[in-house]
Amino acid sequence: MSKHYDDILSLVIGKIRSTINEDWIQDFEIEGETRFNTDLEIESIEFVKIADAIQAHYGTQLDIVGWLSGKSIHELIGLSVGELASFIAGAVPEQG
Amino acid sequence: MARILFTVPPLTGHLNPALAVADALSRQGHELAWAVHAAQIGDKLPEGARVYALDHGDGADPGIAAPQVRGLESVRLFFEDYALPLAERVLAPMEAAVRDFSPDAMVVDHQMLGGALVARKLGVPWVSQVTTSASILKMSPVLDAWVAEQYLALQRRYLPEDLIVERPDFSPHRVIVFSIETLPGDRHARVDAPYAFVGPVRGEGRRQIEFPWEWLRQDRRKLLVSLGTVSRDRDTRFFEVVMEAVSGMPEVQAVLVAPESLAASAPDNVLVRGYVPQTELLRHVDGVICHAGHNTVCEALSCGLPMIVAPIRDDQPVIARQVIDAGAALFVRQGKVTAAAMRTAIANLLGTPSLADSARRLSQELLAAPGAPGAARIILALAAAAPASLELA
């Protein structure tokens, strides 16, 4: 994976930690493969908050809600941190 | 006298409210019948009940499995593996039952879709019974579209085109919700339907359960910890975290409804019981730690008790959010919470007067709700109305 992706992945992981803001998640190993539903026990309402925080960081160049609305229920259930990061990596330009 | 047909899935949380409403109706002499899976819940019906069995007797009737599944996945599995196959399988025996009994009205649990489709097809007035305050809310565009698509395929196989609707599980006549309107609140969009919030039904004479009342001490703050009957045996981690948290809190006593094997490792101020007389025990405690199952939440709130909610599956995350938004609960994450975080949550639960104040406010509303007798009145009014006027409803 590129530095562009890695940077975004760390940002996403940071937003997950700060949004959930519970003791366990500060030490919990979050990677690209980590799944929101099964691994992190994050419900959709909390996922929206995380998405909002990321959206606020990148502004209008990103449309996370639109991206999610194209997903099937099976894809939503299995959604991983890396899939979210990949989507963002494809949507925002690399910092020069 | 009216003829009323009840149909519910073979699940205790759906049968119990129907039993309470049926009791109110039969006391007034109305004639009742049940279209249910008799092999699974026939023994829980009143003695002498008229039963139309929906079982196929081939051992293939859908059951709720996969207790380890959590969150959104449990919702998907519920539809795909349970509610929809169940609906498909009951259509024929259900239609035969309705034709035979000729009810003036039907009471159809909103997860008993087969009953709703038969009522629609045969033009029988019907009410939906919705057993929790979560099921009336829209979920998300993706999920709602998926649910509508599942329902559409089923309807196309059974109903003429002009009777097909987006949400066939909600009656166009009346939708009785066994909760209070404050819980769903107005933060989230609801499925559009003619709701009547009647509140929870009151505990109707459960069997006697032994409990060592002398163990509870006047000079301690007391907690009831329960994950409900479905998730009690899921895994013991959550109970172990609670025990560790409470072991450092000598001013607290906790009763855990949990596998009794945990008793050996319980600290002095924790009592582990496989079953408890919950309704009575709630009158003796200061707070509740639970999975946000609708029954436990309503029982605890009816007693004015604040709670810590650790939802797992189905509609529990939504109900948990509703009680938190109503100011009467704190959240912990079921599979992740640490003993330190649990201890902080318990200290906050017992030390934050506004939580108990909110719970008491909700208790007044819950106790004032009309309950099963109110639901019975709505059903009778529908049964008495001329079918022609119902077409307009």
**Do B53 and B90 share a structural domain?**
yes
pLDDT tens readout for residues B316-362 = 999 999 999 999 999 999 999 999 999 999 999 999 999 999 999 99
Contact B228, B293 (CB under 8 A): yes
pLDDT tens readout for residues B281-306 = 999 999 999 999 998 999 999 999 99
N-to-C CA span, chain B = 23
H runs (alpha helix) in B283-337? 294-302, 316-325
Q: Which of A15, A20, A52 is nearest to B333 (CA)?
A: A20
Q: Where does residue B388 rank: exposed (0-12), middle (13-18), buried (19+ CB within 10 A)?
A: exposed
**Do B376 and B356 share a structural domain?**
no
**Which residues of chain B does A74 touch, with a Cβ-Cβ cutoff of 8 Å?**
76
Q: How confident is the model at residue A9 (pLDDT cuts 50, 70, 90)?
A: very high
pLDDT (tens, 9 = 90+) of chain B, 393 residues, equals: 899 999 999 988 899 999 999 999 999 999 999 999 999 899 999 999 999 999 887 766 777 666 678 888 888 888 888 889 999 999 999 999 999 999 999 999 999 999 999 999 999 999 999 998 888 988 878 888 888 999 999 999 999 999 999 999 999 999 999 999 999 988 889 999 999 999 998 765 556 889 999 999 999 999 999 998 766 667 799 999 999 999 999 999 999 999 999 999 999 999 999 999 998 999 999 999 999 999 899 999 999 999 999 998 888 999 999 999 999 999 999 999 999 999 999 999 999 999 999 999 999 999 999 999 999 999 999 999 855 444 433
Single-letter amino acid, residue A34 = T
Q: What is the CATH architecture of A3-91?
A: Orthogonal Bundle (1.10)
Q: What is the pTM of this model?
A: 0.88
**Distance from C-alpha of B224 to C-alpha of B255, rounded to nearest angstrom:** 5
What is the pLDDT at residue B30?
A: 96
**Do B274 and B382 share a structural domain?**
no
Q: Which of B79, B107, B126 is nearest to B6 (CA)?
A: B107
Q: What is the CATH number of the domain that holds B94?
A: 3.40.50.2000
**Which residues of chain B does A71 touch, with a Cβ-Cβ cutoff of 8 Å?**
142
Q: Which of A25, A43, A73 sits opposite B146 (nearest CB)?
A: A73
What is the pLDDT at residue B77?
A: 85
**Do B237 and B191 share a structural domain?**
no
**Do B167 and B41 share a structural domain?**
yes
N-to-C CA span, chain A = 17
Q: Which of B140, B296, B311 is nearest to B224 (CA)?
A: B296
Q: Does B221 touch chain A (CB under 8 A)?
A: no
pLDDT tens readout for residues A41-51 = 998 888 989 99
**Which residues of chain A does B70 touch, with a Cβ-Cβ cutoff of 8 Å?**
37-38, 41
Q: Does B167 touch chain A (CB under 8 A)?
A: no
Q: Which of A28, A37, A69 sits opposite B72 (nearest CB)?
A: A37
Residue B311, helix vs strand vs coil: coil
Domains of chain A, by residue range, sit at 3-91
Q: Which of B5, B193, B183 is nearest to B90 (CA)?
A: B5
Residue B207 covered by a domain? no
**Do B277 and B251 share a structural domain?**
yes
What is the pLDDT at residue B392?
A: 37
**Do B330 and B192 share a structural domain?**
no
**Do B242 and B94 share a structural domain?**
no
SS (H, E, C) B48-97: CCCEEECCCCCCCCCCCCCCCCCHHHHHHHHHHHHHHHHHHHHHHHHHHH
**Do B255 and B227 share a structural domain?**
yes
Residue B208 covered by a domain? no
What is the pLDDT at residue B232?
A: 66
Give me the sign of the Cα torsion angle B364, B365, B370, B371. Answer: negative
pLDDT tens readout for residues A33-71 = 999 999 999 988 889 899 999 999 998 889 898 898 889
The C-alpha angle B313, B356, B131, rounded to 5 degrees, equals: 35
Q: Where does residue B358 rank: exposed (0-12), middle (13-18), buried (19+ CB within 10 A)?
A: buried
Q: How many domains does chain B have?
A: 2
CA atoms within 13 A on the CB side of B229: 8
Residue B206 covered by a domain? no
Cα Rg of chain A, angstroms: 13
Contact A85, A65 (CB under 8 A): no
Give the DSSP letter of residue B190: B
A69, B333: Cβ pair inside 8 Å?
no
Range of the domain at B116: 3-200+369-390
* Residue length of chain A: 96
**Do B67 and B30 share a structural domain?**
yes
**Distance from C-alpha of B293 to C-alpha of B200, rounded to nearest angstrom:** 13
List beta partners, residue B35. Answer: B52
Per-residue exposure over B335-350, b if at least 16 CB sit within 10 Å of its own CB, e if not:
bbbbbebbbbbbeebb
Q: Which of B76, B141, B335 sits opposite A41 (nearest CB)?
A: B335
- Give the neighbor-by-neighbor strand order of the sheet with B329-331: B270-273, B252-257, B221-226, B287-290, B307-309, B329-331
**Do B250 and B329 share a structural domain?**
yes
B73, A76: Cβ pair inside 8 Å?
no
**Distance from C-alpha of B70 to C-alpha of B312, rounded to nearest angstrom:** 6
**Do B217 and B168 share a structural domain?**
no
B312 → chain A, closest CA residue:
A41
Q: How confident is the model at residue A93 (pLDDT cuts 50, 70, 90)?
A: confident
Contact B221, B286 (CB under 8 A): yes
